[in-house]
Amino acid sequence: MNRDKDYDLIIEAGKSELNYWKDILKYRGLCYILVWRDIKVRYKQTLIGIAWSVLRPLLTMLIFTIVFSRIANLPSEGSAPYPIMVFAALLPWHFFANALNDSANSLIGNQNLITKVYFPRLLIPVSAVMTSLVDMLISLILLVILMCFYGFLPTWRFLWIPAFMMIVFFLAIGAGALLSSFNIKYRDFRYIIPFLIQLGLFISPVGFSSSIVPEQWKAVYILNPMVGIIDGFRWAILGGTLEWTAILISLMVTLLLLISGLFYFRKTEKKIADII
Amino acid sequence: MGKPVIKVEHLGKTYRIRSRDIAAYRSIREELVQAFSVFKKSNSFKSKTSTFHALQDLSFSVDEGSVLGLIGRNGAGKSTLLKLLGRITEPSSGRIKLKGRVMSLLEVGTGFHPELTGRENIFLSGAILGMKRQEVRRSFDEIVQFAGVEKFLDTPVKRYSSGMFVRLGFAIAAHLQAEILLIDEVLAVGDIEFQKRCLGKIGEVAKGGRTVLFVSHNLGAIEQLCDSAMVLEKGKLAFLGSISEALRAYRQFNKNAAVRNFISEQQVIKKVSICSEKPDDQHFTTGSVLHIDVTIRSERVLQSPVLGIVVRDHYNVPMIGINNRHYKLDFENVRLKSGMISIRIPHLPLVAGAYSIDLFLGDIHGDFEVLEHAIDFLVDNTGDQFVHAKLDKRLNRVFIKNVNWEIRTDGI
């Protein structure tokens, strides 16, 4: 009667690891619900609602095109129109910046849930990243429309986009898991993250093309995982040559961040309800 | 009674308290300061970390279909136990074995988002509490009807009245499809009529063969609902058995529980103690003396201090709310830094039941310390010297001692 196998769940001090990954699968429905909630809530009480998802990337593209192409006179990549080149980079960059910001603050934002009900906490930053993924998909449709407008039609390379999306998705999850658990312990990160994102915008080829980076800086420049990812997106959308070393570095950094992020997150998660 | 569905073995939960900064999270600056101070004066920080045993070596089992009440004073570990069973935090030692789905209801409206409509929140909260989508859909109409919010389904819950909000939150919880339900103090909110309906619903749930663990300050509710109860005392199991014996045991403990010390450095109120006629007399009855001593130690001087007390009954309904400004005697010219304020109510107007006292301390600038449920006490109905016949409990919440009755007979 009292044997362990009669019970469905055994909670033991310091031995939660076994159930955890099973639970993630079991609770995946909750992840979708949280994504649904965040999207629903985001545009409540706004006049134009979901149109903001379209307007925001378009306006950024406009500003970047004016500043970098018209004022700074930077060259585009090959024959591609400058707006398309900017938009191709904004796709992963916007996703990454929003996902990072939202997932890093997600644990603090959901503390009322964390202290009241059990579910694998990893779902919180993951759902924040997935919310941004929805935005990226909307932007992708917008891009196709824009390309048709400029008469710059997608080629077979477009099929590579899901692969690059996967990389940036896991990069965001790794970084988000890491930063959100830092944020729980040290609230300073709430203020550091915007600076990180701002810095990232300048060292990543969002407003400019990688081709204008001086040769002597290239070695340092491609250490930024977003360089490989953005250039990957550009290659899939605009064509040209793809530097595989940059992609390889992105993959490695993503893997590193993902492993260390998940590891550190699990470590923090055990006491999260006590310290939040 | 069926097989055990909850089995707890040597369960313990320890918190580290750092008396320097109560907040568990820190800023990097503090971390750096600490890192450097290690070189300066080596163990000044370590010495200030102490451990607090919220629960110690707790072992028990609960059978299928039983409704177990958890009683104990504030800080006895009731909520910690529910949080461990609900997997919100991890135990520091020991183990818990559970059979079936566990859902915890530690708050009304868990997961509600104010911007979303009632309809959306039913699905959201249901999912967060662990219900499947089909399960929510199946009980949707029943939830709406139980909460009585049909007309406001498409209104954001931020526009709900607090009563509606609570009703909707509880209605979702009452329809949870779990084998084990953990409920913490949720009945402390809402109007009495609704509380009664909730109690009825919980009773129904238990009759359906599900196991319920129920924490409440409402001893009346516990008595009504539970068939057995557990008394926790300073994180240890003090009693486990039938409800009537458990309540008797709890009252026994409470007799010597009339002092509460507050260890927090930031807090100004350091100690609260209550007694009846004599300092060691803890037997309160209707009409007896209630004497409260509040010890205060403050960093800064309190200019014309104000101490207020609110006595709440077990439904959390305030019964008495007074402060020294309400009385002719005022502490207007008093400057207090360290000392004691005593309140003596010569004839307690309360009928038998469990009560809790909130304390409000302030000065000329306003309230600055509020201690909710600072201390609990029981008013007994045995040995009432002033109430000669049994009061009708349904009609009386207070009893006025000095009522003049006159009768004039004008011949027959």
Convert the pLDDT of each residue in A177-192 to its tens digit. 999 999 988 888 889 9
Of A29, A41, A113, Cβ closest to residue B115: A41
Q: Count the neighbouring beta carbons within 10 Å of the beta carbon of residue B150.
A: 10
Task: Please tell me if residue B60 touches chain A, with a CB cutoff of 8 Å.
Answer: no
Q: Which fold has domain B4-38+46-254?
A: Rossmann fold (3.40.50)
Do B327 and B308 touch, CB atoms closer than 8 A? no
Question: What does the pLDDT read at residue B195?
Answer: 67
Q: Domain span at residue A115?
A: 2-275
Do B129 and B111 touch, CB atoms closer than 8 A? yes
The residues spanned by each domain of chain B are 4-38+46-254, 259-409
The whole-angstrom distance between B94's CA and the closest CA on chain A is 6
Please give the average per-residue pLDDT across A112-135, as a whole number.
92
Which residue does chain B place closest to A272, by CA atoms?
Answer: B89
Task: Please tell me if residue B83 touches chain A, with a CB cutoff of 8 Å.
Answer: yes
Do B376 and B359 touch, CB atoms closer than 8 A? no
Task: Please tell me if residue B314 touches chain A, with a CB cutoff of 8 Å.
Answer: no
Question: What does the pLDDT read at residue B401?
Answer: 79
Q: Do A1 and B4 touch (CB under 8 A)?
A: yes
- Three-state SS string across A71-106, please? HCCCCCCCCCCHHHHHHHHHHHHHHHHHHHHHHHHH
Which residue does chain B place closest to A192, by CA atoms?
Answer: B28
Cα B239 to Cα A45, B59, B245, B246, B256: the distances in Å are: 53, 11, 9, 6, 16
Of A1, A9, A11, Cβ closest to residue B91: A11
Q: Which of chain B's residues have a Cβ under 8 Å away from the Cβ of A13?
A: 12, 90-95
Higher pLDDT among residues B360 and B411, named by residue: B360
Question: What does the pLDDT read at residue B262?
Answer: 79
The whole-angstrom distance between A275's CA and the closest CA on chain B is 5
CATH number corresponding to B259-409: 2.70.50.60
Convert the pLDDT of each residue in B216-274 to its tens digit. 776 777 777 788 999 998 889 988 999 888 888 887 776 555 777 777 777 889 889 99
Q: What is the ipTM of this complex?
A: 0.85
Burial class, B167, CB count within 10 angstroms (exposed 0-12 / middle 13-18 / buried 19+): buried
Mutate to test the interface with A, among B128, B154, B155 (most CBs of A within 10 A): B128
Please give the average per-residue pLDDT across A16-23, as a whole number.
75
pTM of the model: 0.76
- The total domain count for chain A is 1
Convert the pLDDT of each residue in B170-209 to its tens digit. 888 878 778 888 888 765 555 666 767 776 777 777 777 7
Q: Do B104 and A44 touch (CB under 8 A)?
A: no
Please give the average per-residue pLDDT across B5-12, as a whole number.
92
Cα Rg of chain A, angstroms? 21
* Residue B336 C-beta-side C-alpha neighbours within 13 Å: 24
Q: Do B87 and A118 touch (CB under 8 A)?
A: yes
Pairing of strands B259-261, B269-275: antiparallel
Share of chain B above pLDDT 70, in %: 83
Strand, helix or coil for residue B131: coil
Q: Which of chain B's residues have a Cβ under 8 Å away from the Cβ of A121?
A: none
Which residue does chain B place closest to A11, by CA atoms?
Answer: B96
What is the band of A50 on the pLDDT scale with cuts at 50, 70, 90? confident
Q: A191-195, A270-274, B52-56 — which one is most confidently predicted on average?
A: A191-195
Task: Please tell me if residue A195 touches chain B, with a CB cutoff of 8 Å.
Answer: no
Residues 6+ apart with CB under 8 A from B346: B289
What is the band of A141 on the pLDDT scale with cuts at 50, 70, 90? very high
Residue B192 to residue B314: CA distance in whole angstroms: 11
Please give the average per-residue pLDDT across B60-80, as a whole number.
86
Residue B38 to residue B44: CA distance in whole angstroms: 8
